[in-house]
């Protein structure tokens, strides 16, 4: 990794789960987001619901200040293969800036 760690975080089923009309915060993932933000990671929240939905959700979860907000991309063009970190792996690996993240490439 060179320089600043940049992380894109989805909202639904990553930071909050919905069961009917009830929204259930994913407390352990939210704690990791706060920790990463405190360590200086640049965090972008996004959702298929759009940037406004991502902002409202982050505000609801008490982590608004941790993020910049993006709409969900339909297409990603990059010269590098994307890396994906699942929340459960993030928790088991610690997800700090001091240790490498467990990742998998998407073909």
Question: Domain of 95: which CATH number?
Answer: 3.40.50
Phi, psi of 12 (to 5 degrees): -70, 130
E-assigned strand segments in the chain: 6-10, 16-19, 22-25, 42-47, 67-71, 83-84, 104-105
Residue-wise pLDDT for 51-107, tens only, equals: 899 999 999 999 999 999 877 777 766 666 666 665 555 544 555 544 444 444 444
Give how many domains the chain has, as a whole number. 1
Instruction: Check residue 5 and give its pLDDT.
Output: 86
* Domain that includes residue 23, residue range: 6-105
Rg (CA), the chain: 14
pLDDT at 34: 95
CB-neighbour burial class of residue 73 (10 A; exposed 0-12, middle 13-18, buried 19+): exposed
The pLDDT value recorded for residue 26 is 94
Choose between 72 and 14: higher pLDDT: 14
Span 31-54, mean pLDDT? 91
Closest C-alpha among 24, 34, 32, 44 to residue 92: 32
Residue 1 is assigned to a structural domain of this protein: no
pLDDT of residue 47: 87
């Amino acid at each position: 990794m060179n320089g600043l760690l940049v992380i894109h975080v989805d909202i639904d089923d990553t930071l909050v789960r919905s069961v009917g009309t009830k929204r259930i915060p994913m407390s352990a993932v939210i704690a990791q987001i706060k920790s990463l933000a405190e360590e200086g990671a640049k965090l972008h929240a996004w959702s298929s619901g759009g940037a406004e939905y991502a902002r409202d959700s982050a505000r609801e979860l008490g982590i608004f200040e941790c993020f910049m907000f993006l709409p969900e991309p339909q297409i990603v063009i990059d010269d590098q293969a994307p890396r994906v970190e699942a929340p459960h792996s993030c928790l088991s690996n610690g997800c700090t800036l001091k240790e490498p993240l467990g990742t998998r490439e998407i073909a």
